Amino acid sequence: MRTTRSAVISVGVALTGIIGAALAAPAAAVDTEPTQKPRVSVEYFPEPGSEGRRTEVPVNTPTVPGRSAARSMAPAAGTTDGEVGQLSVTGSSADRLDVVIVGDGYTAGQQDAFHTAAAAKWAAITRIEPYASYQGLMNVWTVDAVSAESGISGDPTADVTKDTALGSYFWCSDTERLICADIDKVASYADRAPEADLVIVVSNSTKYGGAGYSGLEAEGYPFDGVSTLSSDNAQSSMIAAHEIAHSVGLLADEYTYDSYGTWPGGELPDINSSTFTADRMAADRTKWYRWLGETDPTGGTVGTYEGSSYYPFGIYRPTANSLMRALNTSDFNLPGREAMIAGFYREANALSSEVGTRGAILRTRHIKVSRAELSGLAAPELRWYVDGVRVGRAQGLTAVVPAALGVRADGRTHTVTVESADRTTSIRDPQVRAEATERLTWTVKASGRTAPNRP
Ligand SMILES: [Zn+2]
């Protein structure tokens, strides 16, 4: 579901500001790209399991001498170039968070290998909670991109160049593990899927690497985030799991740079980063105070641990480690998990019905509702109400008739409401609980056959 992500953009802008200021000197020193190309913030992880780093890169792939810069966007004849596949489609794009996976460095004869890699990467991501429990709120599409050559530039060594559909390359900004891609080319392929909220580029390589682009909506792209990762390195899936959390959960990075010193600003809007210590949080009932002292999936206890949002001092994170700090754990902490679930419900609807709610319906009309399939952490519950009064015996039903719920033929207008709530214990914030509670209400004309003209 495409929504205006003002919150994401504001986080991206704030980050870019901080990073831009901090990197101004070194960025100028290493900048060998033409200055007219727009630059965007990317995050990368220098080694498997490591903490992240951020830098800025051009959105387009620099032209390689001797190579054609402008590859034809027309589908290559006799290939599956541009073909859309359904890896996991659980509902209408209007009601789902749509993820699009595009392959790079796969030739016409290697598209099966791309599909195998895309499925393996998505399976690895959805082994992580809360992706695992809430994957029913997501659609996953694949788009075939046929490359002239197999593999991507910079693999195995920096001097290797490949002519590929998306122009992906290791050694972006002189950083071996940083895989950049040409975002215009990525967008042209992602656009073939019904909708792209998030894009993952899987590069045909056994070498560890990847990146996370953010703030792309501000550059005019229809999606905000792109994750790149290598296909045949088991550790690379964690990069996408981390990057999606920025876009969907609006989570901040919990890692630090030694050189940054003490946090210079005031309190941040970020869910998982705060200038407040635990005592202050508890006293003011703010930030992650509801989780303080709880045993966390990352193995520790939720508290306030100094060092977050790149600054080692004066700012705190909820747990010693988490997926937002380093990729050597596959768990979000409890505040992060709740934020992810909030994001899923912000981007998707668990409840839908083909019976429209605009016009009035008859009391004999069959109402069917469908609910996203949720599992694990989720605790979905369906309740029915007539004129706001709960009908206990209808709990859990996905098909009802208003008359059977107790709407009488009394000539009056009534309402029938279905409410889908998520009672998961992974939500403690009432605002998030409200986000995870969805309702559909029908107006029922109860004039019926027996009393058509009563006042
Ligand atoms: Zn990050």
Q: Determine the pLDDT at residue 352.
A: 95
Q: Determine the pLDDT at residue 84.
A: 97
Question: Angle 241-247-249 (CA atoms, 0-180°, nearest 5)?
Answer: 80
Classified by CATH at the fold level, domain 351-445 comes out as: Immunoglobulin-like (2.60.40)
Q: Determine the pLDDT at residue 13.
A: 35
Q: Determine the pLDDT at residue 8.
A: 37
Give residue-wise pLDDT tens across range 58-113: 888 776 544 544 454 455 667 899 999 999 999 999 999 999 999 999 999 999 99
Q: Around ion ligand 1, which residues have CB less than 5 A away?
A: 43, 52, 253
Neighbours of 267 (CB within 10 A): 13
CATH 3.40.390.10: which residues of the chain?
Answer: 6-249
| 433, containing H or E segment | helix 430-435
Q: Determine the pLDDT at residue 76.
A: 63
Q: Determine the pLDDT at residue 3.
A: 60
Compute the distance from residue 218 Cα to the ligand 1 centre, in Å.
18
Q: Determine the pLDDT at residue 233.
A: 86
Classified by CATH at the fold level, domain 6-249 comes out as: Collagenase (Catalytic Domain) (3.40.390)
Compute the distance from residue 318 Cα to the ligand 1 centre, in Å.
15
Question: Angle 414-417-420 (CA atoms, 0-180°, nearest 5)?
Answer: 175
Compute the distance from residue 310 Cα to the ligand 1 centre, in Å.
10
Q: Determine the pLDDT at residue 410.
A: 92
Compute the distance from residue 255 Cα to the ligand 1 centre, in Å.
8
Question: Residue type at 127?
Answer: R
Compute the distance from residue 379 Cα to the ligand 1 centre, in Å.
29
- Based on its alpha-carbon atoms, the radius of gyration of the chain, rounded to whole angstroms, reads 25
Give residue-wise pLDDT tens across range 112-141: 999 999 999 999 999 999 999 999 999 999
- pTM greater than the 0.85 cutoff: yes
Residues of the chain with pLDDT under 50: 4-35, 65-66, 68-70, 72-73, 450-455
Report the alpha-carbon distance of residue 302 to residue 304 in Å, rounded. 7
Compute the distance from residue 246 Cα to the ligand 1 centre, in Å.
6
